[in-house]
Every structure is written in structure tokens, then in C-alpha cells.
Amino acid sequence: MAGIEHIKVEPDEAGMRLDRWFKVHFPGLGFGQLQKLMRSGQVRVDGGRVKTDARVQPGQMVRVPPLDVDAKATKSGPIAGKELKHSGDAELLARMLLHEDDKVYVLNKPAGLAVQGGSGVSRHIDKMLEAWTSQKGEKPRLVHRLDRDTSGVLVVARTRGAAQKLTAAFRERDTKKTYWSLVKGVPRKHEDKISTWLVKEATADGDRMRIAKHGEEGADHAVSYYRVVETAAQRLAWLEMEPYTGRTHQLRVHALHIGHPIIGDPKYFEDDPNWDFPGGVQKRLHLHARHIDIPHPNGGRLRITAPLPPHMVQTWNLLGFDEASAGEPDDE
């Protein structure tokens, strides 16, 4: 058991709830135990008493009393680009882990890491999962995917039976996936449904999706919903988006279709000489799989939220967006 510690809040932890911050740094600490430490004033932020739902900010100092638990051996939180290249598979997967039980892993996939292999892909999660092969020789299985440049919630089955049930839930659309994005301009309608047909076409820069013509061969129907959460000077909008169908690049193409492409999208953001890219915002895809609500293979439902990636935390801070504005769902 260590003595009193004062731990500085890191930039990638901006806006994180204090109870979640403790869960990241001290996963063995029970929620009831944490509440008791809060009530007695043993846990403080910048010297002041706080509640478990307080949100921490970079540079704040968290007073941590002696705890009879082990701190996480590996660093937690978002993963930097250089770590994607130089860290081991098992270490990286442990850093991504949001939830674990006997049937399911839920990861917070970093932007820039592919889910599956392909041309020009040297490292991807499907291959990395071999590091978590069970003693029975069973490798965890992917049940859905995210684009390489999209960050956020990725559900992985630990067993064949769990994979069958989770795959069925996605196929039967008994899941609710919520994404956060930052788009150019502000949609005229505060919330709306987007319904189109999409078709894949080959381009010099690789495959790209586009809106299909009526009756075009090979086209798939795609339906998305969105709502505006906050705006920045009518130049940018934070959208909460929900794909009802699961087509390739669906949200990215739909954002472009309504005239509000996602900031930093390397495939679908079109340069406009009359529009300046906002200063201080990284030219990286601002699309994050924020939350998933899916039936658990053992019964009940699994609800998991993924913290924003560092480049979106930076943008949200720059624009003064408050994560609480979206009305966060409760995790279980």
C-alpha cells in the first residue's frame, strides 16, 4: 500500500469524470470504496472536495490517499501515433480496453489503426488479437468494424458462441451505435434522417463510396440520423450521428451529401477556396464511435462509452464544447 499521492491530470484526460479517471488509474478500486473516500474528503482535486461526477481538467492535481489496490501497470488513456508502431500487441490492446467479461471485450480503437488487413496495412487489430488467444486456443473474434481513421467503440467476441450472438445483433439491427463528428458549416435542420443509395467506385486514391443513381446496379440502401449538439460561430457543428444501416463510409458520405463534410476527412472533405480551415484544429478525421448499446450474449444489454481521441479533445477544448451537452447515456 503506497502513501498519499498527488497525480496530475493529463491533457488526454480533459473532461473525464472523476470516477472514470479513478477506474482508469486504479481499476481495482470499487465504486463504493471511492464514494467513501470522497465523502470523508480523502480524495481532493486541487485541494478541494469533489463529487464522483466532477469532471477533471488538464493540470489539476488529484489527491489520492493510500489505497489497498494496485495501480495499472501500463499507462492508460489514448494512444499516440508513435506507440502504435513501437508497442507490443498485448500492451496496446490492454491500453484500449474499456470493458472485459467472460464473453466480450470492448476496445477504444485509436484513429489510424486498421481493424482488418488490406493493401498497405502492416498492423491491424484482427492480427493483434492473436496475443489474447485463450488457453483453449480460441482467438477473440471481430463482430463489426470501424474505418481506419475512425476512433472509438469496437466490440470483440471472446468465444465462438458470443460471436454468433453479437453478429446476429448487428445483422438484425438490435444495436444502437452513436457517433460524434465535427462538420463544416451548420445543417439547416437541427435534426434529420438521411436516406440514400450508396455504390462503391474505384478511384486513383482507392475505393470510394458515392450516392447512387436511381436503380443503379450494386447500390445498397443507407439510412442515418443526426442531430446538432453545439455549433461554433456558424462555421462548425458538432453532430451526434446514428447509422441505422452499416454501409462502408456511410456517415462520411452522408455528411458530404447534406453539404456538411466531416472535418479532416481525407476522402470526402472537399477544399473550398471561400472557406478557411479553422486554426488549431488538426487535419485528422473528426469522427468517433462514442457509444454502443448491444445485447450481451449472457442476457441484458451492454452499454459502453469511449473517451474522445486526443485530436478531438484538443478541438473540443479549442471550440469550448462541453461533452455533457450531448446528454451522455449511462454505461453498465
CA 179 → CA 20, 127, 241, distances in Å?
20, 25, 5
DSSP annotation of 136: T
Q: Are 296 and 302 in contact (CB under 8 A)?
A: yes
Per-residue confidence (pLDDT) for residue 165, from 0 to 100: 97
**Surface-to-core class of residue 169, CB atoms within 10 Å of its CB (0-12 exposed, 13-18 middle, 19+ buried):** buried
Return the closest-CA partner of residue 16 out of 82, 93, 98, 87: 98
Look at residue 328 and tell me whether its pLDDT is greater than 90: no
Catalytic residue, from 53, 68, 147, 322: name it: 147
167 three-state secondary structure: helix
Per-residue confidence (pLDDT) for residue 326, from 0 to 100: 85
Residue 32 lies in a domain: yes
Return the closest-CA partner of residue 210 out of 245, 242, 239, 250: 250
Angle at 147 between CA 142 and CA 152, to 5 degrees: 75
Q: Active site includes 147?
A: yes
CATH number for the domain spanning 33: value is 3.10.290.10
Joined grid coordinates for residue 183: 462538420
Per-residue confidence (pLDDT) for residue 1, from 0 to 100: 44
Residue 312 lies in a domain: no
Look at residue 34 and tell me whether its pLDDT is greater than 80: yes
Look at residue 307 and tell me whether its pLDDT is greater than 90: yes
Angle at 21 between CA 15 and CA 23, to 5 degrees: 145
Calpha distance 190→225 (Å, rounded): 11
Identity of residue 307:
P
Residue 31 lies in a domain: yes
What does the mean pLDDT of the chain come to?
88
Residue range 307-318: average pLDDT?
Answer: 93
Residue 33 lies in a domain: yes
Share of the chain above pLDDT 90, in %: 60
Q: Write out pLDDT tens, residues 51-105.
A: 877 888 999 999 998 886 654 444 455 676 666 666 788 888 888 999 988 899 9
Residue 141 lies in a domain: no
Look at residue 205 and tell me whether its pLDDT is greater than 80: no
Residue 22 lies in a domain: yes
Residue 142 lies in a domain: no
Calpha distance 38→43 (Å, rounded): 5
Of these ranges, 81-85, 150-154, 216-220, the one predicted with the greatest mean pLDDT is 150-154
Joined grid coordinates for residue 329: 447515456
Return the closest-CA partner of residue 5 out of 42, 40, 30: 42
Calpha distance 277→287 (Å, rounded): 17
Share of the chain above pLDDT 70, in %: 92
Identity of residue 210:
R
Per-residue confidence (pLDDT) for residue 83, from 0 to 100: 65
The H-or-E segment that residue 226 falls in is: strand 220-232
Alpha helices, DSSP H, located in 65-209:
81-86, 89-96, 125-128, 160-171
Residue 39 lies in a domain: yes
Residue 44 domain boundaries: 5-64
- How many structural domains are present in the chain? 1
Per-residue confidence (pLDDT) for residue 72, from 0 to 100: 44
Calpha distance 125→93 (Å, rounded): 8
* Range of lowest pLDDT (108-122, 174-188, 252-266): 108-122
User: How much is the pTM?
Assistant: 0.76
Q: Write out pLDDT tens, residues 129-151.
A: 999 998 888 999 999 999 999 99
Confidence of residue 256 (pLDDT cuts 50, 70, 90): very high
What's the sign of the alpha-carbon dihedral 281, 316, 92, 101?
negative
Look at residue 201 and tell me whether its pLDDT is greater than 70: yes
Residue range 215-234: average pLDDT?
Answer: 94
What's the sign of the alpha-carbon dihedral 88, 149, 56, 35?
negative
Return the closest-CA partner of residue 288 out of 97, 184, 146: 146
